[in-house]
Amino acid sequence: MIARIIVNAARVFFGAVLLFSGFVKAVDPLGSMYKFQDFFTAFGVEWLFPAALPLAVGLSTVEFVVGFTFLAGVKMQVFAPLGLVLMGFFAPATIFIALTDPVPHCGCFGDAIVISNQATAAKNVLLFFASAMVFFCKDRIRPVFSGKSAFFSLFAAAGLAAGLSAYALIFLPTIDFRPWKVGADIAALLEKSHEPSGAVYLVFENRKTGETRTYPSDDYPWDDPEWADLWEYRARKEKMPYRQFESPIENFSIMDEDGFDQTLQIIAAPGYLYLVAAYDLQTANMRAFDRNLAPLARQAGKDGHDFVVLTASPPDVVDSFRKGRRQGYPVFFSDERELKTIIRSNPGLVLMKDGVVLGKWPHTRIPEYDHIKNRYKD
């Protein structure tokens, strides 16, 4: 009796963990793909990049199905050995990762729960012993489903996991576990995680020519009457002005072409902000820029709303991007990893107001301006 309770507890523990792990990966397959690419880069096998997405979808589906079978006790003659094989691979692999730390965390629970490589290794060792216990006692487990119902439940579980991944790839994840989810006050998160600490510069504009010049705040000719008559103050900038503190949003910044940090000036500005995240302009969907985002930018500008593009592409790529189209919006620079975190699309559109995320759209679903205006108007 006690032995049966222990075996069933191990079975439920193993099944619940794998089901949850598979689910959170299935709702965000691109997140898992990026994690696989991180590992490939760390181990110098970038040629495996094309396999990252199939591996991401396949792993989430297998984990979800195996977790379901353990919880339901279905087809244990097949899935108990498979569960043991999985953990026989993942337990030593994650121990190696815990010892070498090639990436900050392995992403075993996606962005839903971030745990260290050491915690992941300990978890997988426990799962290995749980799967071994179930394997040796698989004949004693009574299934919840049997016969045709068992096969139907397996196909349903596999279809659900694959369907969640397909939906996320076509649209966006059904559940957003990242800090940039709809309703998040990004401005507040950034303000709490930043503290002014850098050099301050002042921007002045020539009243006659429109030329702008930037001066250190403690070194400009403020006491020259002729200069003061000709130049007018326009803006305040800070170069690398923030020290980072622990925050759900780490290492995020928006830099202009001169290397000035514009993060809070853009994100925390009052009013509506149309933010386009395009981590790589060379692989971004240009049709979305030309057919959807360009007219949206023009209409937003007419209504006095800010429209910016953030990219991790180098300046020469940005120059080529600008030459190919007459865009009326500024392009700023940010970290590739952070842009991939903002939205799982290249490009992707994020609508914000007063620093709060109102809506997010992939490049396949960019709405028309009137639709956005009617839905999110004051």
What CA–CA distance (Å, rounded) separates 95 from 98?
5
Taking each helix axis as running N to C, give the angle between helix 29-42 and helix 52-72, from 0 to 180 degrees, rounded to the nearest 10.
120
pLDDT, position 57: 96
pLDDT, position 211: 81
pLDDT, position 13: 95
pLDDT, position 210: 78
Helix boundaries (H) for 303-365: 315-323, 336-342
Residue recorded with tokens 């839905």: 375
- 40-56 pLDDT, tens digit per residue, is 998 889 999 999 999 99
Contacts of 88 (CB under 8 A, 6+ apart): 128
The per-residue pLDDT of the chain, averaged, comes to 87
User: What's the mean pLDDT in 366-372?
Assistant: 91
Cα–Cα nearest to 366, from 260, 307, 295, 305: 295
Contacts of 377 (CB under 8 A, 6+ apart): none
Strand partners, 351: 274, 359
pLDDT, position 240: 52
What CA–CA distance (Å, rounded) separates 267 from 242?
15
Alpha carbon separation from 113 to 62, 97, 105, 178, 287 (Å, rounded): 20, 18, 11, 10, 35
pLDDT, position 141: 83
Cα–Cα nearest to 37, from 343, 336, 334, 350: 336
Cα–Cα nearest to 66, from 120, 30, 23, 35: 23
Q: Residue 187: is it exposed, middle or buried by C-beta count within 10 angstroms (0-12/13-18/19+)?
A: buried
- 159-188 pLDDT, tens digit per residue, is 999 999 999 999 999 999 999 999 999 988
What CA–CA distance (Å, rounded) separates 94 from 98?
6
pLDDT, position 195: 52
Alpha carbon separation from 18 to 83, 132, 139, 238, 333 (Å, rounded): 9, 15, 21, 47, 38
- 96-145 pLDDT, tens digit per residue, is 999 988 888 888 888 888 899 999 999 999 999 999 999 998 888 888 87
In this predicted structure, the answer to whether residue 264 has a pLDDT above a threshold of 90 is no
- 296-331 pLDDT, tens digit per residue, is 999 998 989 999 999 999 988 988 888 866 667 889
Q: Residue 323: is it exposed, middle or buried by C-beta count within 10 angstroms (0-12/13-18/19+)?
A: exposed
89 φ, ψ (degrees, to nearest 5): -90, -50
181 φ, ψ (degrees, to nearest 5): -75, 160
- 49-102 pLDDT, tens digit per residue, is 999 999 999 999 999 999 999 999 888 899 999 999 999 999 999 999 999 888
pLDDT, position 199: 67
Contacts of 66 (CB under 8 A, 6+ apart): 15, 18, 22, 79, 82, 83, 86
Which H helix or E strand runs over 153? helix 148-170
